[in-house]
Structure 1
């Protein structure tokens, strides 16, 4: 039925509008009723749990069943690590697993908790899905250079679809650390140095990961990280101290986290660094007073990989027991990998060093998040192999990856109008360690990449130029070391070409965690290669691959 502008609205139109308004008014009531139902279910479970089972819900361990592509199929023999993990799951000593994927084994692993443990509480499956699962999108720093928030939301959505289909419920992303020292290796994981841009991309990526309904298999719980000020490590040295005024902290480093939480994120990851002398994974002011008290955060805090155990290395805790106590009391609800919570919480409660109310609070936060994900109603979401096969590496996702790559490239300058290159009539020399390279195509934190999808620069150029391409490829140097005769071969090829494409920069191993660099320039071997090629006088187009801002002068 068509409604003409200016005509009186029909009764059917009014009824439809009334139904819509009624639905809009009912939606909050339905959501509130569901939240109360979840709370009642969770509190009933907590009342039945032993202290060991409570500690188990706060214990996050690596997934030994689904890590390798070949995985463990139902009926296969378990290795020793798998056997112990299976025993712990069935005994209620593990509440979550991380960095395992695969729909085929999801039901098998989830059954250990749902069907074989006393209370049947489902496992939470998490993973480091940073910029794609099998389909790999540009590294977050590169994508941020597109200034395209819709693009960031769509790539996060695609990553969530592939991750959700592979049996993942939570991603340890987005990283929202403002990063202003390019020596720091983890610059590559965020949106750079600007607060506003970090805020906007935090929202876009959180919404993309979580979708419209967290209970859908295609939605991933977003986990903004690393809380907080991790990106301000002194001298850009990963894990180093941070020292700043509260004004600086609140003006620069906290806003992206607040933006992500306001967008609906229900989990936060604590950081490795100390903040003004107090390790962030033991910082009650940060994790409780600000996060829950000021911001009203209702989700849970997960430690970074053994970051609560590292309170000992910080000199803040005397031993593992003390570290577990300090981290839990500060506000870290879930312990990643160390096993300290499982080991020490029962005795800490028995001795009176940790009140049971704090343990119950942490368990409630974890279980309420599991409920928000719909795991109590559908613990086997992500266990459909046909769905996984259909969406993983789909044509739609590959087209999106191509779009994202195209929009994320930044042209710094185009002297003489060398670009764009014509498809015919030019002899092209592709020189540099990244010309024919496929290993570094994906970038750091491509944990689950499909190497079969790799397309090198040479591959792409030959496809674009066709059979009549006049393309010569010479490596010239390795990433950080010269090659015998490499520069001479490169100069020869460059001299015979009309234009040179110089593919240089950083390897994937030069960025990400624990990859701080003192020198943020082009590695010496590549710089010598570049200078020799430039000396030929031929037009040179530099194709720079990097995970941080680099010194190019």
Structure 2
């Protein structure tokens, strides 16, 4: 169908038919889907009728090739206009083959692998009947109390933007119509959901427009510039208005300024939530505000189907608003080729061939090795082949390493750490003790763990958070490991054995009781289906860790939010002319993070020297070339991520102490010397001024190049 044919189709639909296209219902509403769908919130007595289901536009959370074909065929028989369903689901970091969580993927600093992971997820989802995924999540995150930080790639707008583009490229490919084993991407959560107050899900966000544009919007814009087909509204308020009823955000910014003409969908129940937010008195007002804001699809509430027809007939809502939403939905279905083939890409034979295939699992393994961050190592790792190793902790034999949003993944199929270590070190060299559960344990378990550790040369503690402790609604005020695990660490530490801790978790943790008690710390995050194999190869040294943090680890939760690209103050700590007490500081902790953005260790050592700028001056027409030499002075090959940061010394408004502007990954053999080269131009120095104009300031800029956001060489130049 061309656009005129779609308009003709809309002209044949009743008002109720059209409004039903705007509702998204979960799988149990549909014939043949049963109760197999993934439900992420409580079912409500929604008052949905059979005609509403027959005319509905999309189904949420159902997958499986044969079942999807049956559901679509049943729906097509009932739909009076022959309009197929869109199948949508949360394919966030893998379908059946589960990759590391996005926060871990960010730590790889490898956008090519990120793109590959999204391509594989799309292929598995598409052959299993999915057309749209609610990914990527590109919210900038600074507060590890928020459970959903695991869905983001971190605290930096530049790096998040690169990953946003990579995920969209991987999910959608170059042509959704031609590439049937790809899915449409839906960037979320628009906007600034990551800035929820107190790190609490669904909570208020209160930002200046300049802060919003400078830090939180760039990654969404990057995803849309890459061609992302859909946008999901966030649960939070922006400037006192919930996103799903926010005309300024959705009409003025998203539609008019950014020219987005794709589909806008609410998050689960967000339209009806305008009522408890306090901006709608009832469902009618909620529907009125959401349609005026341009929300095309209402997910899992029924304000539209109950109230929009009467709002239109009474003249309070222009029917053109309904028509434009229906047209956008139909245009996406046409782009996906669903009018020609309602079963686009869905293929039971291909499903059996590609889902969880060896090739896909190998890619998941590679990304897991690239995402695992070595946080501390006092010479304990890699493990000596001849050493007797005690593997102790609740994650020693656990398959709960996939993380949230892995609903099609199998914890039973996940590679466990104990099996992988046994395979690499030999069963006679590895003994296992549970030690305790995630949050509970017995004295007998603790004693058994100590006895097991006493017989070993080296202890590996497998610790962390259960997957439900992070992700949506997984917010915590205490971001330390649970007390029973800290007790286990303390008991083992009393033995004086060389000890390494491996952490499986979805957020930066307060590492008190861990970092100070053990000689090595490995941050595995939730590493996915091949996590045990990847972590084991890091531990034994078959893989040299190269990942770098994209979210800072605090000394304690009292510092939160703590992030590298913060502002200075009028009384900065360490100012030469300030009294010691009366500066911006804590009395009981450092200002800086325990482990900063960009931090990560290797089994080799890299030395930096000869930072060079091609000129002391930059103009609009003459960018700078910045180079630094890096030498591998260790005994094994490794990858170093060389990072470029800039500071605008004097801006119209206060500028961050450092901003990431580029990075280069150098792979160097022992003794090899390489050069990281960056090009920095005037456009990269622009920012939003007080009037929201996007421009640069002439004057002095500082340049920092190094292994993380704190450990750098520095120089400066003048922008003329």
**What TM-score bracket applies, with the shorter chain setting the length?**
0.7 to 0.9
Find the counterpart in structure 1 of residue 415 from structure 2. 455
Find the counterpart in structure 2 of residue 248 from structure 1. 211
| 1:100 paired to 2:62 | yes
Provide closer, same or farther for how the CA distance between residues 86 and 106 of structure 1 changes in structure 2, counting only shifts above 3 A: farther
What are the within-5 Å matches in structure 2 for residues 185-264 of structure 1?
185-215=147-177, 216-264=179-227
| 1:503 paired to 2:462 | yes
| 1:426 paired to 2:387 | yes
- Superposed displacement of residue 483, structure 1: 1.9
What are the within-5 Å matches in structure 2 for residues 76-225 of structure 1?
87-88=50-51, 91-92=54-55, 94-215=56-177, 216-225=179-188
What are the within-5 Å matches in structure 2 for residues 358-377 of structure 1?
358-377=321-340
CA distance in 2, matches of 1:87, 1:161: 33
What are the within-5 Å matches in structure 2 for residues 397-436 of structure 1?
397-416=360-379, 418-423=380-385, 425-436=386-397
Greater mean alpha carbon deviation, residues 443-452 or residues 183-192: 443-452
1:422 is paired with a residue of what secondary structure? coil
Find the counterpart in structure 2 of residue 541 from structure 1. 500
Find the counterpart in structure 2 of residue 44 from structure 1. 8
Q: Deviations over 1:114-155 (max 9, x none)?
A: 343211011100001111111111011111111110000000
CA distance in 1, matches of 2:211, 2:34: 40
Partner of residue 25 from structure 2, selected from 61, 79, 87: 61
1:412 is paired with a residue of what secondary structure? strand
Q: Does the aligned pair in 2 maintain the 1:242–1:273 contact within 8 Å?
A: yes
Find the counterpart in structure 2 of residue 441 from structure 1. 401
Provide closer, same or farther for how the CA distance between residues 459 and 69 of structure 1 changes in structure 2, counting only shifts above 3 A: farther
Q: Does the aligned pair in 1 maintain the 2:37–2:61 contact within 8 Å?
A: no
- Superposed displacement of residue 86, structure 1: 9.8
CA distance in 2, matches of 1:128, 1:212: 21
CA distance in 1, matches of 2:6, 2:197: 42
2:203 is paired with a residue of what secondary structure? coil
| 1:492 paired to 2:451 | yes
CA distance in 1, matches of 2:249, 2:263: 14
Provide closer, same or farther for how the CA distance between residues 265 and 384 of structure 1 changes in structure 2, counting only shifts above 3 A: same
Relative to the length of structure 2, the TM-score reads 0.68
Find the counterpart in structure 1 of residue 433 from structure 2. 474
- Superposed displacement of residue 194, structure 1: 0.8
Q: Does the aligned pair in 1 maintain the 2:20–2:53 contact within 8 Å?
A: no
- Superposed displacement of residue 70, structure 1: 11
- Superposed displacement of residue 253, structure 1: 0.8
2:310 is paired with a residue of what secondary structure? helix
- Superposed displacement of residue 552, structure 1: 0.9
Gaps of 5+ in 1: 1-36, 72-80
Find the counterpart in structure 1 of residue 634 from structure 2. none
- Superposed displacement of residue 281, structure 1: 0.9
Q: Does the aligned pair in 1 maintain the 2:272–2:301 contact within 8 Å?
A: yes
CA distance in 1, matches of 2:346, 2:104: 33
CA distance in 2, matches of 1:88, 1:111: 16
Partner of residue 310 from structure 1, selected from 256, 273, 279: 273
Q: Does the aligned pair in 2 maintain the 1:58–1:362 contact within 8 Å?
A: yes
CA distance in 1, matches of 2:425, 2:36: 35
- Superposed displacement of residue 382, structure 1: 3.3
1:111 is paired with a residue of what secondary structure? helix
CA distance in 1, matches of 2:341, 2:49: 21
Greater mean alpha carbon deviation, residues 197-206 or residues 366-375: 366-375
1:225 is paired with a residue of what secondary structure? strand
CA distance in 1, matches of 2:116, 2:25: 30
CA distance in 2, matches of 1:340, 1:69: 25
- Superposed displacement of residue 525, structure 1: 1.0
- Structure having the higher strand fraction is 2
- Superposed displacement of residue 43, structure 1: 0.7
CA distance in 1, matches of 2:305, 2:493: 60
Q: Deviations over 1:391-430 (max 9, x none)?
A: 11111101111111111100112212x211133x211101
1:551 is paired with a residue of what secondary structure? coil
CA distance in 2, matches of 1:268, 1:352: 28
Higher relative contact order (CA 8 A, sep 6+): 1
- Superposed displacement of residue 69, structure 1: 6.2
CA distance in 2, matches of 1:245, 1:212: 36
CA distance in 1, matches of 2:120, 2:462: 29
- Superposed displacement of residue 68, structure 1: 5.9
1:473 is paired with a residue of what secondary structure? strand
1:224 is paired with a residue of what secondary structure? strand
CA distance in 1, matches of 2:393, 2:82: 56
Find the counterpart in structure 2 of residue 464 from structure 1. 424
Greater mean alpha carbon deviation, residues 267-276 or residues 59-68: 59-68
CA distance in 2, matches of 1:86, 1:235: 40
CA distance in 1, matches of 2:241, 2:190: 13
CA distance in 2, matches of 1:277, 1:195: 23
Q: Does the aligned pair in 2 maintain the 1:494–1:533 contact within 8 Å?
A: yes
Partner of residue 300 from structure 2, selected from 325, 337, 343: 337
Find the counterpart in structure 2 of residue 522 from structure 1. 481
- Superposed displacement of residue 466, structure 1: 3.1
Find the counterpart in structure 2 of residue 299 from structure 1. 262
- Superposed displacement of residue 444, structure 1: 0.9
- Superposed displacement of residue 56, structure 1: 1.0
Find the counterpart in structure 2 of residue 274 from structure 1. 237
Gaps of 5+ in 2: 39-43, 513-720
